[in-house]
Amino acid sequence: MIRHFASCTPKAFCRAIAAGTLALAASFAAAQEYPVRVIRLVVPLSAGSSVDTLARAFAAEMSKDLKQPVVVENRAGGDSVIGTQFTKNAAPDGYTIMLVIPAHAINVHLYPKLPYHPIKDFSLIAMVASNMNMLVVPPNSPFKSVKDLIDHAKNKPGALNFGNAGGTSGGSAELLNYMAGIKTTNVMYKGAPPALTDLMAGTIDFMFTALSSGTSFVQSDKLRALAVTGPNRHASLPNIPTVGETLPNYSVLGWYGLVGPAGMPAPIVERLNRAMFAALVVPEVRARLATLGFDPAAPNNAAQFESFVLSEIEKWGKVTKPRE
């Protein structure tokens, strides 16, 4: 190797090759030693949210596998843009990672000046979990099925108001509008609790909300569930049909995955992937996720996760309108 570099011309080019080789060797050495200190897991939502609780549930088990603390750090705001930009700008050494949410694929269509690219600016690690939304209406609503709601919206375009709590809540309704060829009116909320309160009061006509947010209200007869948004019925609610049973090919899942800054060495990505899935098979973690309405993801790799995110970007591009 030394003789090869000695014969190179010009000398500046040889020095560049040598420097690159040394940097690559140092990178692989660091990857082999990884981790040697605390790992920061960024959550782009506030503490106490169901997504924050999801992160804390598996972070503790990841710490055991990695033999270093995995500490959750909440950086909420801007539809997850604040936390995501922070992660993008971190060193790609595996010590700052992030739990991305569906907004990671949706925001690229909402914000023309988004300060990052959801694929190019990140090292994708793995899908972690998913959950379904449920379509709910007030208990005294005249709608007993998805078909009832669609038929009414077709007869009275724009008359029905839906609550939009952000992310796949509003996206689920917009996709329903798009695929059913109907028009309903978007009412924005800062989160699910105020939207659900207005829905129970009859101020709005329907909304999509996560199973973890809506199930207790349905079980106590404070709301009526018309459908769930997954490709199949949910095991915990087998009597509630899917939207797709009325509107073929309709499917919306909330999804959550791990990413890091672009340029993370492959061995570090793979090490985090292994630790993630080691955590997800722990019975206590699976039970905790179930109480929150999350379904653990089957083992997947960076390429598979990237393919999924790209498909989500394409899907939401059809129904998402840019914001000012």
Q: Residue 289's pLDDT is what?
A: 92
Question: Residue 43: which domain range?
Answer: 34-130+253-317
Residues 290 and 149 in one domain: no
pLDDT digits (tens, 9 = 90+) for 101-158: 999 999 999 898 999 999 999 999 999 999 999 999 999 999 999 999 999 999 999 9
- Residue 10 resides in a domain: no
Residues 137 and 228 in one domain: yes
> In sequence order, which residues have a C-beta less than 8 Å from that of residue 120 and are 6 or more positions away?
262
Average pLDDT over residues 294-301: 95
Q: Residue 17's pLDDT is what?
A: 55
- CA–CA dist 244, 135 (Å, integer): 12
Q: Look at residues 207, 226, 245 and tell me which one is the last residue of a structural domain.
A: 245
Residues 81 and 121 in one domain: yes
pLDDT digits (tens, 9 = 90+) for 49-65: 888 989 999 999 999 99
Looking up residue 239, the CATH number of its domain turns out to be 3.40.190.10
pLDDT value at 29 more than 60:
no
Average pLDDT over residues 263-280: 98
Q: Residue 213's pLDDT is what?
A: 85
Q: Tell me which H or E stretch contains 136.
A: strand 122-137
pLDDT value at 3 more than 90:
no
Backbone phi and psi for residue 94, each to the nearest 5 degrees, phi listed first: 90, 0
pLDDT value at 4 more than 50:
no
> In sequence order, which residues have a C-beta less than 8 Å from that of residue 126 and are 6 or more positions away?
257, 258, 272, 273, 276, 277, 297, 299, 300, 301, 302, 305
pLDDT digits (tens, 9 = 90+) for 65-86: 999 999 999 999 888 999 999 9
- CA–CA dist 232, 251 (Å, integer): 9
Q: Residue 27's pLDDT is what?
A: 52
Q: Which residue has the higher pLDDT, 24 or 209?
A: 209
Average pLDDT over residues 89-99: 98
Q: Can you read off the two tokens belonging to residue 213?
A: 């947010």
Looking up residue 312, the CATH number of its domain turns out to be 3.40.190.150
CB contact at 8 A, 302 and 119: no
- CA–CA dist 233, 13 (Å, integer): 61
